[in-house]
Amino acid sequence: MKLAPKVGARVIVEPEWGVAAQIIYRNGLVRSLRFYSLDLNHIASADIAKDKDYAKFFMKKKGYSVIPGETVFKDSWAKTVKSNRTISYGKKYAKKLGYPVIVKPNSQSQGSGVCVAWNEKDSFETKTERFYFE
């Protein structure tokens, strides 16, 4: 991060977890970082693209329109990562957005695990460890 300005680059770090970032070079080249993946073979870029929360953050930073949505966790995982965004939070958020809402596993792709919650009684608990509500 300290070296980036010396080579005319800037670094954007996803602020919530601080484990995903992009280095944007003066010539427009973008390199992604996620945990210890340094994007030498584009693994970090693929990981970020598959993670709906990170992808949304970086797309919004680049000026793309993104729809409202939040990542919600199973209660056990929310406790582990010290987040208040539990399933009950997700149900309240979905009600605020207005039903129906689309529930997606955060790190799946190609429609895998996507479902529609038509109302508050639909069960979100059985789908995955981490959801993204839209």
What was the pLDDT predicted at 60?
92
Computed over every residue of the chain, the mean pLDDT equals 79
The pair of three-digit structure tokens given for residue 19, joined into one six-digit string: 């484990």
Q: pLDDT tens digit string along 32-70?
A: 888 766 666 677 777 777 878 888 888 998 899 998 888
Give the CATH number for residue 87: 3.30.1490
Q: Are residues 36 and 88 in the same domain?
A: no
Question: Which residues span the domain enclosing 20?
Answer: 4-58
As a three-state string, the secondary structure of 27-90 is: CCCEEEEECCECCCCCHHHHHHHHCHHHHHHHHHHCCCCCCCCEEEECHHHHHHCCCCCCHHHH
Predicted local distance difference test score (pLDDT) of residue 63: 92
